[in-house]
Amino acid sequence: MAKFDILEDLKWRGAINQETDEEGLRKYLAEHDDLALYCGTDPTGDSLHIGHLIPFMILKRFQMAGYHPVILIGGGTGAIGDPSGRTTERVLQTAEQVKHNEESLTNQMKKLFGTENFEIRNNAEWLGKINLIDFLRDYGKYFQVNNMINKDVVASRLENGISFTEFTYQILQAIDFYHLNKDDGVQLQIGGGDQWGNITAGIDLIHKLEGSDRPAFGLTIPLMLKADGTKFGKSAGGAVWLDPEKTSPYEFYQFWINQDDRDVVKYLKYFTFLSHEEIEDLAEKTEKEPWKRAAQKKLAEEVTKFVHGEEGLKEAQMITDALFSGDIKNLSVTQIEQGLKNAPSAEAGSEKKNIVDFLVDTKIEPSKRQAREDVKNGAIYVNGDREQSVDFEVDPSSAFDGKYVIIRKGKRKYTLVTIK
Ligand SMILES: Nc1ncnc2c1ncn2[C@@H]1O[C@H](COP(=O)(O)OP(=O)(O)OP(=O)(O)O)[C@@H](O)[C@H]1O
Ligand SMILES: N[C@@H](Cc1ccc(O)cc1)C(=O)O
């Protein structure tokens, strides 16, 4: 049976920026049952973020199509620092930082890829063993400084300067590809658009050392921008992390559900495993009945399930539904904390207090007159119950472990009042 045409699928998804030898790769795929491919990540932080998912989703697609993905953790390269896409020199990380980050990233990757037909390698394993003299004799000789300087990454830094350390980075990534190609039969390297120079450096090295007919290919993915032209992946509050301690499943779900109609179809293509037909159907719905936000809901569902599992998705949806309907009584304290992390907050004492005073003291209402009016009109909810009597006493010990009182004003304006 003919294999699924993965390159066509990637093209349809808009996920190919540059390829070193499309024809050669197609031929290789047609003539071989297997292909091993890799993507590297330097341990510069202790969690992946959704920018990392862009190349990883492609690795996953190859895995699902029966090919063999390898993720390389840059324990060696992470100690040096990739100048790609940066205008300034990096601060060197300590060995402890690199180690800690490696462990955290490895756990996250295992969750996304499982253990079947997937490998994690660490380039500290071979880069750490090369001594300086061997480095210069065995590899340095194959790199022309004039070519290295011309690579975008280095050229763009020449004016302000680049250290010899970062300048050498491309050689290290080239050695990785050479090593994985020669010893582990990895034929393809993929990465974000900013990795082109490093990937082609590896292919050149392989061809010089192993002969120009040695199969070695590179593919980069376009840098994804949002409809407003800014880089995708970082929200106003910073990166959207895969670590649930940094970005809760609820926040993660909300990030996807709030995407612009102009971006949502592109994201469905990149971040979900839905079929072409399902995505085309959602594209049509976005066009014809955008107010229903069917595409955003499906996107949020699929990506949250992939990253946080069924449980994480269920929790995110439960919090979303509760906050939307106002029926918050069944939420746990941690769910409240997730759901109202970005809501306005206030503090109050643990004693009972008249509702009008409570609303004014917490600055939810600007005056007693306004507070009385809103209460009487039925616009104020305390811990999920509408309170219309101006004599009502707010009892902080009555809900959410006595930790919080939640005031809702109008349809969905929540304030999280922490009890001191
Ligand atoms: N918007 C994007 N479009 C395409 N690829 C992306 C995007 N954001 C991130 N990536 C991919 O994920 C990799 C890691 O992302 P990024 O460069 O932001 O790394 P980081 O670890 O957060 O930051 P730094 O490199 O500054 O330490 C990039 O090399 C790139 O391949
Ligand atoms: N340079 C890549 C990470 C990487 C490291 C080693 C490699 O062999 C490949 C890729 C990045 O910064 O995103």
ipTM value: 0.92
Strand partners, 221: 192
Residues 300 and 313: their CA atoms lie apart, in Å, by 9
Rounded Cα distance, 101 and 123, in Å: 14
Measured CA to CA, the distance from residue 316 to residue 414 in angstroms comes to: 17
Over its C-alpha atoms, the chain yields an Rg (Å, rounded) of 27
Mean pLDDT, residues 241-252 taken together: 91
The number of the ligand 1 atom at minimal distance from the alpha carbon of 192 is: 31
Please tell me if the domain spanning 232-324 has the same topology as the one spanning 343-417.
no
**Domain boundaries 343-417, corresponding CATH code:** 3.10.290.10
Q: Which fold has domain 232-324?
A: Tyrosyl-Transfer RNA Synthetase (1.10.240)
Ligand 1 atom, smallest distance to 52 CA: 12
Considering every ligand atom shown, identify the ligand nearest to the alpha carbon of residue 86 and give its number: 1
pLDDT at 3: 67
Homologous superfamily of 4-219 in CATH? HUPs (3.40.50.620)
What pTM value is reported for the model?
Answer: 0.86
> Long-range CB contacts (< 8 A, 24+ apart) of 195-199?
195/84, 195/220, 196/17, 196/18, 196/152, 196/220, 197/84, 197/151, 197/152, 197/153, 197/154, 197/170, 198/82, 198/84, 198/153, 198/169, 198/170, 198/173, 198/174, 199/20, 199/173
Ligand nearest to the Cα of 178, by number: 2
Taking CB atoms and a 6 Å cutoff, what residues make up the pocket around ligand 1?
44-45, 49, 51-52, 54-55, 85, 191-192, 194-195, 221, 223-224, 231-233
Domain boundaries, the chain: 4-219, 232-324, 343-417
Is residue 237 pLDDT above 70, yes or no? Answer: no
Strand, coil or helix: 230: coil
Distance 91 CA to ligand 1 centre (A): 17
**Would strands 188-192 and 36-41 be described as parallel, antiparallel, or unpaired?**
parallel
- Residues of each annotated binding site for L-tyrosine: 38, 169, 173
User: What letter would DSSP give residue 4?
Assistant: P
At 83-131, the pLDDT tens digits run 887 778 888 888 888 889 999 999 898 888 887 888 999 999 999 999 9
Q: Whose Cα sits closest to atom 13 in ligand 2?
A: 41
Cβ contact 390:412 at 8 Å: no
Share of the chain above pLDDT 70, in %: 98
- Per-residue pLDDT averaged across 340-361, rounded? 88
